[in-house]
Structure 1
Amino acid sequence: MKRMNQAAIISIIEKYAQGILLSQEEEVLLTSWMQQVKPSAFQALLDQCENIPDTFRAYPQMPDTFKATLEARIDQQEQQEKVDSHTGIFYLYGKKIAVAATIALMVIAGSFVYKHYRAGGKEVVAQQQPQNTDPAPGGNRAVLTLADGSTIVLDSAKNGVLSQQGNTQVIKLSNGQLAYNASKSNGEAPFNTITTPNGGQYHIELPDGTGVWLNAASSLRFPASFSGATRTVELIGEGYFEVAKNAAMPFIVQSKEATVEVLGTHFNMNAYEEEGVIKTTLLEGAVKFHDKTAVLRLIPGQQGQLFRNGTMQLIKDADVDQAVAWKNGYFQFDGIDLAALIRQIARWYNLEVVYEDKVPEREFTGKISRTVYLSEVIKALELSDVHCRLNGNRLIVMP
């Protein structure tokens, strides 16, 4: 390996170990290197890395433990006639599961996953590629329903002006984003609805310049232009909002049971009906989160929760990164129960879920890329003793 390339790899490893997202070029370089490197060279390079957590050095310093752990995983997977690959970092009750030095360093958002291990005295390099039946991750998919009931499939629509509604143009930009170009109007504006399916997400800029990112299985109803005393929209599911400032016209998000009022701010609202709680997490600015009887005033870093029984709760030190992880391309969990975890996966991969037995009462903490194929997510679950199989688009969770 050339000295310049070696220095670049060290820099990339240090970035990855510190949780810094890699650029596409860095992912390609690291992936290419992982195809060629031998375990001894891998260890030597790790020794040269200065800015990495001790967990990345722990296993190399314990060769006997490392060997035993790795051989156990190899034996288990050979019985299943599969080669183990593990994308993402998955934890159970805060404990890292089945991670060894040569498995830990993976390109989470890369298109291939490589693993190096010793078996029978020979080095084996495994490349995991998705099968044709392996569900792909979700993507930018949505349908726009106009005021007259006509619909536009946004992911297949051409760039440019999609519709003219009164004084408002609906435009699909070159980056796939939907934007509204509205001039002032004194009349009542028509309402539009953007809907994402299971396996879809979408970014829209509302007529006032507010940016909205919709998660899977969600919808947003909004006017083609804002007029009157407020800017009111209706949310089903989950959305992240970067609200354009307008002190004279508050921005209001209504869900079935809760309302958020803001002037200009960044926040995430999770209002899926199948979940037991509506959550609003504030990143910037200030909001009022309320139902018909109670009000919570949030400051950045806080989360308001409204439970289905009407109880409200304020989380003063909320995990903001977890709340917006979906927007940034990750599943991120912290003490989540299995059923809630599976619901997130099912929405993104467009799955029907069947439990062969009662749902195990277990909690999970971890982080998995939303860009990988479903098989990689299932393997991460398997490493935490959650057993699943796929039958068409039906995910069967086994005891």
Structure 2
Amino acid sequence: MVKREGMENLLLRYYEGDTTEDETILVEEWLEASEENSRIARQVQTIGLAVDMAQISSRLDVKKALEDVHRKMERKKVNRYQVLFRGMQRAAAILFIPLVISWSILYWSRDGQEIQMMEVRTNPGMTTSVELPDGTEVVLNSSSLLRYPSQFADDKREVKLVGEAFFSVAKDEKKFIVGTLNKSKIVVHGTKFNIEAYKESKKVQTTLVSGKVSFSYVNNGGRNDVMMQPGQKVVYDIVQEKVVVEKANVDVETSWKDGYLIFRNTPFEEILKSLSKRYNVEFILKKASLKQSSFTATFTKQRLERILEHFRISSNIHFRFVEDGDVNAERQVIEVY
């Protein structure tokens, strides 16, 4: 039996095509040993495109790259997992942390010039960080998507976000614009702020840590702008097309990016939503009265079971992991009562 650390190293070499015949057999037997192993393998496959894309030429010859891969496949038989990785400059695969950062390149013409776009996605329950071409740092939360160009235009820096992210925007004369749901957008020059814009929530929430931003949103067919000050939070209701500006607890709103969960008199439903994002689980609240409860707590990097135990001991709240026999289910269901 290969130890965990040994399997990690073995898989790194396996996906780069550097394993011996015996090692290849060992890895493939592990992949076939369980559905969980196969699920992890499918996730790891997509990481093959995350090969220092930011350093690849903006004139990447995709056709030639594909031809090179096809030639290698014809010269030597390779298995279905290795095909995606051969011919790549470098591939980094972390097996036991099922994080997938998928990068894609899209091309279209604008004024006769070819434009390259990058796309980063995070798996449920995972976070990652990205540095944009201008030096802006972005931390992406669970189940989020960020799309941006490999080089910004001369007049503005613009990205698209679905999900949640924390931005530390590099100072520049060019405006930095984050477009998100329902044509809403945040316009900044140099600042730090958090945006939460998941499709299922039907809301866009922006918390400003420092600097100034303008929140622009659609209302009755027109466009309105709200200037924000540090420590403020804007909540945009997409359905009603209304905006509420309120004082924010910055530490609570942004703690996720540092691996913490901070709650300050936070409604229990909101706590469950945060835990759902962090641990990729689905909570079913069976006791309606719990919706009225609020809690204050700080969790660092505890396992979910430890956190749930905290609520059980302190507040007599019980949790039951639902087993439905579906090994392909993407999320664990937990009943709360």
- The verdict on how the C-alpha distance between 1:267 and 1:171 changes in structure 2, with shifts beyond 3 A counting, is farther
Provide the C-alpha distance between the structure 1 equivalents of 2:55 and 2:170, rounded to a whole number of angstroms: 23
Find 1:152's aligned residue among 21, 44, 47.
Answer: 47
- The verdict on how the C-alpha distance between 1:394 and 1:358 changes in structure 2, with shifts beyond 3 A counting, is farther
Give the match for residue 40 of structure 1: none
- The verdict on how the C-alpha distance between 1:353 and 1:217 changes in structure 2, with shifts beyond 3 A counting, is same
Please show how residues 250-329 of structure 1 align to structure 2 within 5 Å: 250-257=175-182, 258-275=184-201, 277-293=203-219, 294-308=224-238, 309-315=240-246, 317-329=247-259
Provide the C-alpha distance between the structure 2 equivalents of 1:370 and 1:236, rounded to a whole number of angstroms: 26
Which has the larger Rg? 1
**Percent sequence identity over aligned pairs:** 28
Find 1:387's aligned residue among 296, 318, 333.
Answer: 318
- The verdict on how the C-alpha distance between 1:153 and 1:357 changes in structure 2, with shifts beyond 3 A counting, is farther
Report the residue type matching 1:191 in the other structure: M
Provide the C-alpha distance between the structure 2 equivalents of 1:171 and 1:204, rounded to a whole number of angstroms: 18
Find 1:344's aligned residue among 261, 271, 274.
Answer: 274
Give the match for residue 334 of structure 2: 396
Find 1:220's aligned residue among 139, 146, 152.
Answer: 146
Give the match for residue 37 of structure 2: none
Provide the C-alpha distance between the structure 1 equivalents of 2:318 and 2:134, rounded to a whole number of angstroms: 47
Q: Does the 8 Å CA contact 2:284/2:333 hold for their aligned counterparts? A: yes
Provide the C-alpha distance between the structure 2 equivalents of 1:153 and 1:386, rounded to a whole number of angstroms: 43
Give the match for residue 106 of structure 2: none
Note the C-alpha offset of 1:291: 0.4
- 2:269 is paired with a residue of what secondary structure? helix
- The verdict on how the C-alpha distance between 1:220 and 1:320 changes in structure 2, with shifts beyond 3 A counting, is same
- 2:56 is paired with a residue of what secondary structure? strand
State the Cα deviation string for residues 32-78 of structure 1 (Å, max 9, x = none).
xxxxxxxxxxxxxxxxxxxxxxxxxxxxxxxxxxxxxxxxxxxxxxx
State the Cα deviation string for residues 9-39 of structure 1 (Å, max 9, x = none).
xxxxxxxxxxxxxxxxxxxxxxxxxxxxxxx
Q: Does the 8 Å CA contact 2:209/2:231 hold for their aligned counterparts? A: yes
Please show how residues 1-399 of structure 1 align to structure 2 within 5 Å: 151-152=46-47, 164-166=56-58, 187-247=113-173, 249-257=174-182, 258-275=184-201, 277-293=203-219, 294-308=224-238, 309-315=240-246, 317-356=247-286, 358=288, 360-382=290-312, 383-391=314-322, 393-399=331-337
Report the residue type matching 2:118 in the other structure: N
- The verdict on how the C-alpha distance between 1:217 and 1:192 changes in structure 2, with shifts beyond 3 A counting, is same
- The verdict on how the C-alpha distance between 1:217 and 1:361 changes in structure 2, with shifts beyond 3 A counting, is same
Q: Does the 8 Å CA contact 2:267/2:291 hold for their aligned counterparts? A: yes
Provide the C-alpha distance between the structure 1 equivalents of 2:315 and 2:216, rounded to a whole number of angstroms: 38
- The verdict on how the C-alpha distance between 1:250 and 1:151 changes in structure 2, with shifts beyond 3 A counting, is farther
Provide the C-alpha distance between the structure 2 equivalents of 1:209 and 1:201, rounded to a whole number of angstroms: 19
Judging by fraction of residues, say which structure has more helix: 2
Report the residue type matching 1:282 in the other structure: L
- 2:199 is paired with a residue of what secondary structure? coil
- The verdict on how the C-alpha distance between 1:163 and 1:172 changes in structure 2, with shifts beyond 3 A counting, is farther
Gaps of 5+ in 1: 1-141, 144-149, 181-185
In the superposition, the TM-score normalised over structure 2's length comes to: 0.62
Note the C-alpha offset of 1:305: 1.6
Provide the C-alpha distance between the structure 1 equivalents of 2:172 and 2:277, rounded to a whole number of angstroms: 34
How many pairs does the alignment contain?
240
- The verdict on how the C-alpha distance between 1:275 and 1:333 changes in structure 2, with shifts beyond 3 A counting, is farther
- The verdict on how the C-alpha distance between 1:153 and 1:379 changes in structure 2, with shifts beyond 3 A counting, is farther
- The verdict on how the C-alpha distance between 1:205 and 1:195 changes in structure 2, with shifts beyond 3 A counting, is same
- The verdict on how the C-alpha distance between 1:286 and 1:398 changes in structure 2, with shifts beyond 3 A counting, is closer
Report the residue type matching 1:295 in the other structure: D
Which structure ranks higher in relative contact order (CA pairs < 8 Å, sequence separation ≥ 6)? 1
Provide the C-alpha distance between the structure 1 equivalents of 2:251 and 2:299, rounded to a whole number of angstroms: 14
Over aligned residue pairs, what C-alpha RMSD do you find?
A: 3.4
- The verdict on how the C-alpha distance between 1:264 and 1:342 changes in structure 2, with shifts beyond 3 A counting, is same
Note the C-alpha offset of 1:358: 4.4
